[in-house]
Structure 1
Amino acid sequence: GNKKHRPFLFLKQLSHGLYNVCSDGMKVFQAFLRSEFSDENLEFWLVCEDFKTNRSSFRMSNRARKIFKCYIQAESPREINIDQKTREIIRRNIQAPSPACFDNAQKIVYSLMERDSYPRFLKSDFYKAFLDSASETTQM
């Protein structure tokens, strides 16, 4: 099948606009992750999606270093769970950053969320409450 990395396909049934980050479903998922102290994955993923839209190489370079310091560097405040090899590749990539320089790390956190966080989210009270409120608004 198509192995290409498709942004948040697993959230499709949740937020009707696939790229609509401000959608209620995405907010609820984020709140759930926060309650598990793992919202840095989603935050990193979204920051990278935004990073890819940068057109100025000066801003891209600045932003890449900030993202590295915040999420990639060992012991960083919002460190994501990636392997050392990926960390090193990114460290090299950001010397001359391109829109794709965080792609590998993005794929890793994406599959972590897909395999791990998302199934737990679907069983959570956050999700139940979200469904309840969603059905109330459609019945009005």
Structure 2
Amino acid sequence: MVITYGPMIYQAYLETEHSEENMKFWLACEAYKKITSQRKRISVARKLFTKYIEPQAPNEINIDNPVRKTIIRNLQEPTESCFDEAQRIIYMHMERDSYPRFLESKFYQELKHSFQTSSNNPTIN
């Protein structure tokens, strides 16, 4: 089993910035796309809308009004691609904004340094 720590570390950093909703939304969309039951898809789509999309949502993401309106229309009969455009926009926000800050952050630099230090000093069993 391979465990990837990168997304968890990035998520922890986003929490320090109080901007973790983008990563949480992106991950929730990835899980949403795997839903095969239409009944469950409808339920989860509504929850995603309430949590991330609607104005004043508890974890409202930064998307423009035309994308929001498209999602509202799509909620009538949600498909696996219902949130694709919003997910693409959020990915671009992270790619251009929070991820470069993460790579330059003290948080990441200290983690990288400690990893490099431990890699250079292997223990002998």
Tell me the TM-score normalised to structure 2 length: 0.90
Quote the residue 2:96 is aligned against.
115
Separation in structure 1 between the aligned mates of residue 119 and residue 31 of structure 2, nearest angstrom: 32
Separation in structure 1 between the aligned mates of residue 35 and residue 58 of structure 2, nearest angstrom: 24
Separation in structure 1 between the aligned mates of residue 114 and residue 47 of structure 2, nearest angstrom: 37
Tell me the TM-score normalised to structure 1 length: 0.81
Q: State the AA in 2 paired with 1:88.
A: K
Separation in structure 2 between the aligned mates of residue 118 and residue 111 of structure 1, nearest angstrom: 10
Higher Rg: 2
Give the aligned CA root-mean-square deviation in angstroms: 1.3
Q: What runs of 5+ residues in structure 2 fail to find an aligned partner? A: none
Quote the residue 1:38 is aligned against.
19
Q: State the AA in 1 paired with 2:75.
A: I
Deviation at 1:26, TM superposition (A): 1.3
> Percent sequence identity over matched residues?
45
Quote the residue 2:31 is aligned against.
50
Q: Which whole-Å deviations, capped at 9, do the CAs of 1:55-110 have from their partners, x for residues lacking one? A: 10100000000000000000000000000110010011111011100000001000
The answer to whether 1:23 aligns with 2:23 is no
Aligned residue among 15, 39, 64 for 2:45: 64
Q: What runs of 5+ residues in structure 1 fail to find an aligned partner? A: 1-19
The answer to whether 1:91 aligns with 2:68 is no
Q: State the AA in 1 paired with 2:68.
A: R
The answer to which structure has the higher helix fraction is: 2
Quote the residue 1:126 is aligned against.
107
